[in-house]
Amino acid sequence: MQTADVVIIGGGIVGSSIAYHLTSAGCRDVVVVERESAQGKGSTGKSMGGVRAQFSTPVNIQMSLYSIPFYASFEERIGYPCDYRPQGYLFCATSEGHLAYLRANHEKQVALGLKNVQLMHGEEIRRMYPQLRGDDIVGGSFCSTDGFVDPYSAMNGLMKWASDHGAKLYKNSAVTRLIRDERGIAGVETSAGRFATRKVVNCAGAWAAGVAAMADVDLPVEPLRRMLVPSEPFDQFPHSAPMIIDMSNGFHFRPEGRGFLLAWNDPEETPGFKTEFDPAFVEKILTRAADRVPCFADLPVNAARAWAGLYEMTPDHHPILGEAPQVPGFFLANGFSGHGVMHAPATGKILSDLILTGKTDLIDASLLNLARFSEGHLIHETAVL
């Protein structure tokens, strides 16, 4: 049997960030177990890669205020690239209700220290992007430090740094059992062997509820399919554009390579481990794309290049972070509801703090604990894409 100070279950970007933050804080005996033959085969490698601070709740804004500067200095800090591109996020409001919502969010964002967010008039947006159908755009919100990263590169960089500083990554290693005694967590059994440890972190993404069940923890996290459609090369819309969000229906898109990446949260989607792309989605999303960006009526798309991934959803669209109250030593980093990549740096810092010292000053961690569901203290994020 091997021993470890901390065993992290799941080698995606969240697990990799926790491994990095633990090792950078001096914890060298960190083990990451990944059931796949390579990292990033879960949600990380299928993410849209957006990073933003334009949220509606203080805790999400605070997590972004740590994560985005982390990505901005990633190569200098880690020694590997993450391809952070601060092209911004532009929310386009099509009603006075949307505008009031953006104003309220803007006040919170500025109060918490976000310096680069600004409210915009509809005329400004039409002037900046005349390719948009702008007759119903009454205003918007733009933040220049929002943007995109390459999730796969960021995950690999974090894990390589952690590995260079003592962490061990075991691939093809499925967790088969969590071992408990009267003190709480005592070890982990995997297909690669048994590890004796008093601290285990559940970073299993959309599969986290199954891992939690091994510790008799009821985790309210369920998978929800999200589909993304990349276009072929297209030059009739500027590639310097930000992520543009049509608030009338949630359609959003951003430049990707020589084309564009299209996304839309289909309200008819139901929870489940569905990872196959549905070709019928192409027509749905292209209809919305052409409505907001008329030139996208000619956007060339190859459905064979489209893909589906899984969001890990919680009832209030906030993650569950921290120690499970009934199982000492069992830590949770789950339920990011589509924000796992953008909040991975903050999550790594928060979990590392909680594991090593029992507290963190990055956020009020009690807001995101598992107990909030049984105690009725949910905090709903409404700015979900």
Give 310-327 pLDDT, tens digit per residue. 999 999 999 999 999 999
Rounded to 10 degrees, what is the CA torsion of 257, 342, 312, 155? 70
Residues 227, 281 contacting (CB under 8 angstroms): yes
pLDDT of the residue at 46: 81
Residues 143, 114 contacting (CB under 8 angstroms): yes
Residue 37 has pLDDT above 90, yes or no: no
Residues 14, 39 contacting (CB under 8 angstroms): no
Residues 344, 154 contacting (CB under 8 angstroms): yes
pLDDT of the residue at 305: 94
In degrees and rounded to multiples of 5, residue 138 shows phi and psi of: -95, -10
Instruction: Using alpha carbons, list the distances in angstroms from residue 28 to 15, 74, 131, 161, 356.
Output: 15, 21, 52, 12, 12
250: Cα within 13 Å, side-chain hemisphere: 11
**CA angle, corner 99, sides to 143 and 281, nearest 5?**
75
Residue 38 has pLDDT above 90, yes or no: no
In degrees and rounded to multiples of 5, residue 56 shows phi and psi of: -105, -10
Q: Which residues contact 99 (CB under 8 A, 6 or more apart)?
A: 93, 138, 139
Give 97-141 pLDDT, tens digit per residue. 999 999 999 999 999 999 999 999 999 999 999 999 999 999 999
pLDDT category at 39 given cuts 50, 70, 90 is confident
Q: How far is CA 145 from the centre of its chain?
A: 17
Q: Which residues contact 139 (CB under 8 A, 6 or more apart)?
A: 93, 99, 102, 119, 120, 121, 122, 125
CA-based nearest residue to 68, from 184, 182, 154: 154
First to last CA, the chain: 44
| Residue 268 exposed, middle or buried by CB count within 10 Å (0-12, 13-18, 19+) | exposed
What is the percent of the chain with per-residue pLDDT over 70, rounded to a whole number?
Answer: 100
What is the percent of the chain with per-residue pLDDT over 90, rounded to a whole number?
Answer: 93
The C-alpha atoms of residue 180 and residue 187 are separated, in whole angstroms, by 7
Residues 195, 3 contacting (CB under 8 angstroms): yes
Q: Indicate the pTM of the whole model.
A: 0.96
The C-alpha atoms of residue 43 and residue 46 are separated, in whole angstroms, by 5
Place of tokens 């995997």: 190
pLDDT of the residue at 45: 76
pLDDT of the residue at 326: 92
Give DSSP secondary structure letters for 236-294. Answer: SS-TT--EEEETTT--EEEEETTEEEEE---TT--BS---S--THHHHHHHHHHHHHSG
The residue-averaged pLDDT of 258-267 equals 96
**Among positive and negative, which fits the CA dihedral 351, 318, 205, 145?**
negative
Cβ burial 169-206 (10 Å sphere, 16+ → b, else e): bbeebebeebbbeeebbebbbbebeebebbbbbbbbbb
pLDDT category at 330 given cuts 50, 70, 90 is very high
116: its two tokens:
């680069």
Give 167-185 pLDDT, tens digit per residue. 999 999 999 999 999 999 9
Residue 384 has pLDDT above 80, yes or no: no
Q: What residues does each domain of the chain span?
A: 2-49+151-220+316-375, 86-145+223-313
**Among positive and negative, which fits the CA dihedral 188, 163, 50, 56?**
positive
Strand order in the sheet with 193-196: 2-3, 193-196, 184-190, 175-181
Q: Please state which CATH number belongs to domain 2-49+151-220+316-375.
A: 3.50.50.60
**Could you tell me the fold of the domain covering 86-145+223-313?**
D-Amino Acid Oxidase; Chain A, domain 2 (3.30.9)
The C-alpha atoms of residue 4 and residue 185 are separated, in whole angstroms, by 12
The C-alpha atoms of residue 280 and residue 265 are separated, in whole angstroms, by 14
21: its two tokens:
């933050």
The C-alpha atoms of residue 369 and residue 379 are separated, in whole angstroms, by 11
Give 42-75 pLDDT, tens digit per residue. 877 788 999 999 999 999 999 999 999 999 999 9
Residue 262 has pLDDT above 90, yes or no: yes
pLDDT of the residue at 303: 92
Q: Tell me the one-letter amino acid at 190.
A: T
The residue-averaged pLDDT of 352-376 equals 96
Q: Which residues contact 366 (CB under 8 A, 6 or more apart)?
A: none
Give 276-313 pLDDT, tens digit per residue. 999 999 999 999 999 999 999 999 999 999 999 999 99
Residue 271 has pLDDT above 80, yes or no: yes
The residue-averaged pLDDT of 142-159 equals 97
pLDDT category at 224 given cuts 50, 70, 90 is very high
